[in-house]
Structure 1
Amino acid sequence: MASPKYQPQLHVVLHQPEIPPNTGAIGRTCVALQAKLWLIKPLGFEITEKTLRRAGLDYWQHLEWEVCENWQDFLDKREPDSMWLFSRFATKSYLEVDYHVATTLVFGCETAGLPKSITEQHSDSLLRIPTHENVRSINLSNAVAVAGFEAARQIGLSL
């Protein structure tokens, strides 16, 4: 296994992502934030797919990332101390919490979000990114950027 490219200060989890360009863009954001990207299977694409690489441009080679077989596999590997899960159904804003070094930010797939089994298990950790009522949610890659850069700001990452 290759040596780490950087020591992650944040962790971003995509639960069953479906759209390669979103995942590629999120990978780029993770490199910018020096965050590790965790991908939870099943994925809606092959990790080597040309569109994924193109969306990540030349940043994917700099990314710390790992694929997990399922949610439990992720929890067994990561055991996060501080974890926030994003859902359009949450009532608490992402701006109302404190983020810490090694915080884990969890996002669901583009079409269905996180499964109820996960949101019910972590109901005290659900956050939302407020939007105008005419928009049910923002694009997944935008949501990761919004939350990730707020977490980075709070923990004082020097980017």
Structure 2
Amino acid sequence: MAGWEQARRRYRLVHDVAGDFARNGPGALAEWRSAIETEFGGLDDLLRDVQRRFHTTAEARLDALIEAPPGDPEASVVAVLDEVAEIHPDLKRLLDAYADHPAVAEGTARLHRAVRAATGVDLTRTRNRTQPGRSRYEEKGPSRDRKPAYRARLRPVRAWLH
């Protein structure tokens, strides 16, 4: 039962910290420092856990996408990632604020490699759009050297993440 209780404490803490961060900005983390250090040992492991939760949702949805190949893989992958950002806006906001932090950058690079390997969609070539209603994962432009966007025989995204 100790493991289950720890998992529940961490779940609550991650969502409480992310929610407070979304409402009050970076200063909110100072109020949570003691709880973060007690439960996670520091900010690095909290950020990894936030990212793991966010990426787990994305991976599950991307696996479903791979099972039923889309007509436009790039748009479909972007739509999945946008959908996950809508499901977990507080987690996304925290991850975006710490995108350059080594713990977050490492996980982001791993997800991008996995998506590229599984779907052919290169998320490293995307950028945030500033126009409302448009995707945060817009591609900068066409690439002549890119492999086909979708390959018929793909393994699930999760297979490349571990």
Same fold flag (TM > 0.5):
no
- Judging by fraction of residues, say which structure has more strand: 1
- Judging by fraction of residues, say which structure has more helix: 2
After TM superposition, the score normalised by the length of structure 2 is 0.27
Instruction: Pick the structure with greater CA Rg.
Output: 2
